[in-house]
Amino acid sequence: MRSHRRLRLLAPFLLAPLTAGCFSTGGGSDSASGDGDGSRLRVALAFPPAENLSPYGADATLLSRLGVTEGLTSLDANGSAAPALAASWQRKNDTTWTFTLREAAFQDGSEVTADAVAGSLAHAVAAEPAPAALSGVSLTAKADGDHAVTVTTDEPDPVLPLRLSSPSLAILSAKAYKGGKADPVGTATGPFEITEVNGTTSAALDRFDDYWGGRAQASGVDARFIADGTARANALRTGELDIAEAVPVSQAASLDQATRRDTATTRTTSLLLNASTGPLKDAGLRATARAAIDTSVFAKDVYEGHGDAGAGIYGPAVTWAEGKREKPVGRAGAEQATGQTLTLATYDNRPELPEVAQVVKEQLEKAGFTVKLTVREYSRLESDALDGTFDAFVLARNTLLDTGDPVSILASDYTCDGDFNIAQLCDREVDRAVAAAGQVTDTDERRDAAMAAEARVLGSDAVVPLVHQRIITGVADGVRGVVLDPYERTLVGTGTRR
């Protein structure tokens, strides 16, 4: 049985230890200039801690959104690896890389040394379950003097610098691992340090004055975890918040235009069709289901213009994909759907998804299918989805979530051995194309190979991209420097202030 990576989709955002100006900012520059004595920021996040702030699961994105953790590398605006705790790196051979560390300190006052970094990565490698970024990868890290770390993989890994940008590979001090868990409280390296956590309700963070990237302008962050999107929008309107993440589309019009930011992201909402069991095991019926879906409806109506019609696995926020998309390869002819009953499922953690699923249901029924719809909270749905219990599943997925590598999402979601293969796809030609793409080392050529593999995946009709999402962030008047990251990897930076 495929191993389940629990609660992966409750990780709505992802780490980025960003240098200033990599992405657009809400209400002004994300410059770290100034005296750094600004007011505390009041921030509402959509998802509470789910795993006791472990960086190895969904909470990794929560930590990075609040500026607590960072890794050896980050992603730049073009989706390439950029320096973070590692100032530079060099590939020694097919399986060995050396990362040169910058001068930095942990929030507990200890120095970021090669031994500390190697130890932190070793704990991530040993974590159970393994962090998503290490799926299918075996690596070891060793200190090379005081300021360099050598990372060796069992097999060639041309995207290792991208992989090390994952939030689940955040670097923590040795103190974090006492007691058999990874505790980021006071042991990370970001511009803000957690000082208090009130269960799943709120958290307090203070500025970390010794942050290597410069002293943050805000003196701290008071974070609230508010799952209800309407409540987040209301709190912003009434002046209780400075920043509200992931404002639901239904609430966008209730905010003044000046207080909402619409950001194209690398998150795509798709219809996954079970290619292994049930009626849609038949490629012809999958083709019928795919042909029944009018993707223009979702961006225009369900997302009220805060999205783009589904074009592929990679959306318009993946800027390098523009002009590279190939026509789907290997599609079967459509078959008669009359008399076929499908089970369709989705989750309500993202408020638009049940509406998306209802529209999908109606479109499939017009094509002759009988559709039974199930909607649950995601944590009560994931195991069944991964086991292939449903014939179809509506999923919102960040295509660059785990590593920033476009091939990784294809390998995990659409290959025979993929550990997040809700579509249950096992196709020899798809596997061959994905494997070939995974061997390419040149960045541009790897992206071309990923697009060729995407054409194979789309040709299987195991996935129908519905809409490429835009995230709405609520930003109060007078707040500057909110980082609007298309990869959903950061929110509060050194220049965020009010």
Q: What does the pLDDT look like over 150-195, one tens digit per residue?
A: 999 999 999 999 999 999 999 999 999 998 889 999 999 999 999 9
What pLDDT score was predicted for residue 308? 92
3-state secondary structure of 402: coil
| pLDDT over 80 at 401, yes or no | no
| pLDDT over 90 at 70, yes or no | yes
| pLDDT over 50 at 31, yes or no | no
Per-residue model confidence as pLDDT tens digits over 249-299: 889 888 988 899 998 888 999 999 999 999 999 999 999 999 999 999 999
**Residue 88: which pLDDT band, with cuts at 50, 70 and 90?**
very high
Intervals of CATH 3.10.105.10 along the chain: 266-470
Q: Which helix (H) or strand (E) holds 482?
A: strand 482-484
What pLDDT score was predicted for residue 136? 78
Instruction: Estimate the crossing angle of helix 406-414 against helix 443-459, to 10 degrees.
Output: 30
What pLDDT score was predicted for residue 223? 97
CA distance 130 to 137: 10
**Residue 445: which pLDDT band, with cuts at 50, 70 and 90?**
very high
Instruction: Estimate the crossing angle of helix 283-292 against helix 352-366, to 10 degrees.
Output: 110
What pLDDT score was predicted for residue 26? 64
| pLDDT over 60 at 35, yes or no | no
**Residue 486: which pLDDT band, with cuts at 50, 70 and 90?**
confident
Please classify residue 444 by burial: count the beta carbons closer than 10 Å to its beta carbon, then call 0-12 exposed, 13-18 middle and 19+ buried. Answer: exposed
What pLDDT score was predicted for residue 197? 94
Per-residue model confidence as pLDDT tens digits over 315-374: 888 988 888 999 999 999 999 988 899 999 999 878 889 999 999 999 999 999 999 999
pTM of the model: 0.83
Distances (CA, A) of 391 to 113, 276, 333, 359, 437: 50, 9, 19, 16, 29
Intervals of CATH 3.40.190.10 along the chain: 8-242+476-484
Give the percent of the chain with pLDDT over 70: 92
| pLDDT over 80 at 11, yes or no | no
**Residue 27: which pLDDT band, with cuts at 50, 70 and 90?**
low
**Higher pLDDT, residue 377 or 23:** 377
Distances (CA, A) of 365 to 162, 339, 340, 369, 456: 42, 10, 10, 5, 27
- Say how many C-beta atoms besides its own lie within 10 A of residue 238's C-beta: 8
Q: Which of 33-47, 187-201, 454-468 has the lowest mean pLDDT?
A: 33-47
Per-residue model confidence as pLDDT tens digits over 99-146: 999 999 999 999 999 999 999 999 999 998 888 888 778 999 999 999
Among 8, 486, 24, residue whose Cα is nearest residue 266: 486
Please classify residue 218 by burial: count the beta carbons closer than 10 Å to its beta carbon, then call 0-12 exposed, 13-18 middle and 19+ buried. Answer: buried
| pLDDT over 70 at 426, yes or no | yes
- Superfamily the domain 266-470 falls into: Dipeptide-binding Protein; Domain 3 (3.10.105.10)
**Higher pLDDT, residue 429 or 79:** 429
Which residues neighbour 299 within 8 Å (Cβ) at sequence distance 6 or greater? 305, 307, 308, 309, 310, 467, 468
Burial 115-145 (b: 16+ CB within 10 A, else e): ebbbbbbebbbebeebbbbbbebebebebee
**The architecture CATH gives domain 8-242+476-484:** 3-Layer(aba) Sandwich (3.40)
Q: Which of 22-31, 327-336, 435-444, 467-476 has the lowest mean pLDDT?
A: 22-31
What's 28's DSSP letter? S
Q: Which helix (H) or strand (E) holds 484?
A: strand 482-484
Strands (E) across 300-398 are located at: 307-309, 341-347, 370-376, 392-398
Which amino acid type is present at position 67?
G
What pLDDT score was predicted for residue 28? 45
In DSSP terms, 222 is beta-bridged to 42, 204
What pLDDT score was predicted for residue 24? 66
